Structure 1
Amino acid sequence: MSRRKRRVLWVLAALGSFVLLVVGLFALNGLVLADRQTPRMRHFADMPVAPTRSAPGEVTFISYNIAKGFAHKGGVNFESREIVEAKLKRMAEVLRAEQPDVVFLSEALTELTPCDIDQVAYLARECGLPFVATGENYNLGLPFYRVVGGNAVLSRTPLTPVANFDLAGRQPFWVSKNNRRALFVSVEFGGKPVLMGALHNDSFDMRNNAVQMQQLLDFIGDRPAILAGDFNNRPKDRSIALVRDSGKFVGEFDGAPSFFEGKRAERLDYILVPAGWELIESRVIPDDTSDHRAVVGRFKVK
């Protein structure tokens, strides 16, 4: 065999080994290192807790889809850390001004190697909400170069992990688009444990969205629960009707638009609490930092 042929074979073997290594690391990250169905709990004990505007016996919630802090520009292009942090700073100002007790986040990134900032931790610290739970919807990339995102709950009081389970229609781990899980934690209100679910449901197939909602209702059963987040369903759509007709929740099932894209202005985000609680205030914050407006709900606890 000539020297030239040996050189070509060596190059091909090296390229093949490199491709196998990358594929192996990708599979390792997605199958082993991804925290698929376990809520990740954190407590930032070194930070002061922000004041609340809730009166005794009341609780104030915010639901906010932060659109990944607009860190992803498409393909393999990402914004700089400085630009994303400026966005997050504005989002934190919006949240902090409301002095909430609990914030539900959707489309929140905890890792993005090209733009290295934990969006959930940043907002928790800026808002003075030290108890944090996150649930992965996707974990895509290599162990040292990846994007990790999903739902989160920020709270001024301790949280107990419950589940971060797959919703109907979930795709294999290498598909990040429209892959959904539901993050559930438990917290005490009125001296009793209450489930809290942070949601970001199917945005493409409304029939599957309704299947997901029924799955959530079956999981909750007869337990008191709060559902908040991006339901990706309008007030008259099937999923919202399922929740309303169950008789287990109160809240504003209609209301001002919370999502804006071009000429679209739709209500997609909700905060729904156990039946028997009293809705005191519900409104949408008029700030366009994200394509979703933050929804505020203040309730009197039963």
Structure 2
Amino acid sequence: MTLNVQHGRGLDRKVNLERIALMVEREKIDIVGLNEVDCCFSRRSFFEDQGEWLASRLKMNYVFGPAIQTGRKRNRQYGNAFLSRYPILSNHNLIFRFKVPVAEPRSLLEAKVATDERNIKVFVSHFSIHPVLNDRMVRFLWESDHSEPTIIMGDFNRKPSSNAYRMMSEKLIDCAALNPHFTFPAKKPRSRLDYIFVTDHFKVIESAVIESDVSDHLPVVALLELD
């Protein structure tokens, strides 16, 4: 599953992590990529470490990759989280930014996961709206080694008609290509911005966009089988 959680703020404008946890349980999700996650960030999310809270509530392993760090000790953070029912063997967080701040920094969280079949690589990111930074992030992934089973998921901030989507789909499989649905805004969706891409080590059994009020984006889910 991939979901931009908008720091847990639902369509009712209330921050509620429990309903995200209930959805993950209901859909029986094994790995989850989350964008716009707060870690002790501000009053808007009650200074909660949201990734840790969800992982504890769901009894899942997790890692967090900040894109923004602020505060005196840089302990107020905002970025991406990855939750997994499988062991997480390693993780790395890569920051994309301009030397002169013209756009919000973005991060790309990479994790290696030990599934029952074999180890897989997972990338989770909230891609920049800024065209130069977005292109830099997409090109990094396009040029990455995809010789091992890899899942890339997140809010790409780009439609299927974009150059970014074309590049990603040249080397990777869009899990929802045969069953595409809009993902934003959640109330009356009219754009497809959130994706799960995989290498050809996977067979896509099915995919769907879930109707939900937990955020301003709709979650995308995919059932995958390792060849």
- The separation in 1 between residues aligned to 2:128 and 2:191, in whole angstroms, is 16
Deviation string 1:96-140 (CA, Å, 9 cap, x unpaired) is 1111110111111111253231111222222232x1111110111
**RMSD across aligned positions (CA):** 2.6
Any unmatched runs of 5+ in structure 1?
A: 1-61, 72-78
Question: Residue 209 and residue 121 in structure 1: after superposition, are their counterparts in 2 closer, same or farther (change >3 A)?
Answer: same
Counterpart check, 1:149 vs 2:55? no
Counterpart check, 1:163 vs 2:92? yes
Deviation string 1:120-175 (CA, Å, 9 cap, x unpaired) is 1222222232x11111101112238x6311111101111122421123xx1469x6
- The separation in 2 between residues aligned to 1:207 and 1:149, in whole angstroms, is 21
Which has more helix, going by share of residues? 1
Counterpart check, 1:233 vs 2:158? yes
Give the share of equivalent positions with the same residue, in percent: 26
DSSP 3-state at the match of 1:161? strand
Contact 2:109 2:123 in 1 (8 A): yes
Question: Residue 116 and residue 88 in structure 1: after superposition, are their counterparts in 2 closer, same or farther (change >3 A)?
Answer: same
Aligned counterpart, 1:40: none
- The separation in 2 between residues aligned to 1:206 and 1:262, in whole angstroms, is 26
- TM-score normalised by structure 1 residue count: 0.66
Contact 1:138 1:176 in 2 (8 A): no
Aligned counterpart, 1:201: 127
The letter of the residue matching 2:206 is: E
DSSP 3-state at the match of 2:67? strand
- The separation in 2 between residues aligned to 1:266 and 1:226, in whole angstroms, is 22
Aligned counterpart, 1:273: 198
Q: Which has the larger radius of gyration?
A: 1
Question: Residue 284 and residue 142 in structure 1: after superposition, are their counterparts in 2 closer, same or farther (change >3 A)?
Answer: same
Counterpart check, 1:286 vs 2:190? no
Contact 1:190 1:301 in 2 (8 A): no
Deviation string 1:22-62 (CA, Å, 9 cap, x unpaired) is xxxxxxxxxxxxxxxxxxxxxxxxxxxxxxxxxxxxxxxx1
Question: Residue 176 and residue 105 in structure 1: after superposition, are their counterparts in 2 closer, same or farther (change >3 A)?
Answer: farther
Give the alignment partner of residue 223 of structure 1, picking from 132, 136, 148: 148
Post-superposition offset of 1:225 = 1.2
- TM-score normalised by structure 2 residue count: 0.87
Contact 1:213 1:239 in 2 (8 A): yes
Give the alignment partner of residue 140 of structure 1, picking from 70, 73, 78: 70
The letter of the residue matching 2:50 is: Q
Contact 2:148 2:201 in 1 (8 A): no
Contact 2:176 2:208 in 1 (8 A): no
Aligned counterpart, 1:67: 6
The letter of the residue matching 2:110 is: F
- The separation in 1 between residues aligned to 2:122 and 2:83, in whole angstroms, is 11
DSSP 3-state at the match of 1:266? coil
- The separation in 2 between residues aligned to 1:138 and 1:66, in whole angstroms, is 16
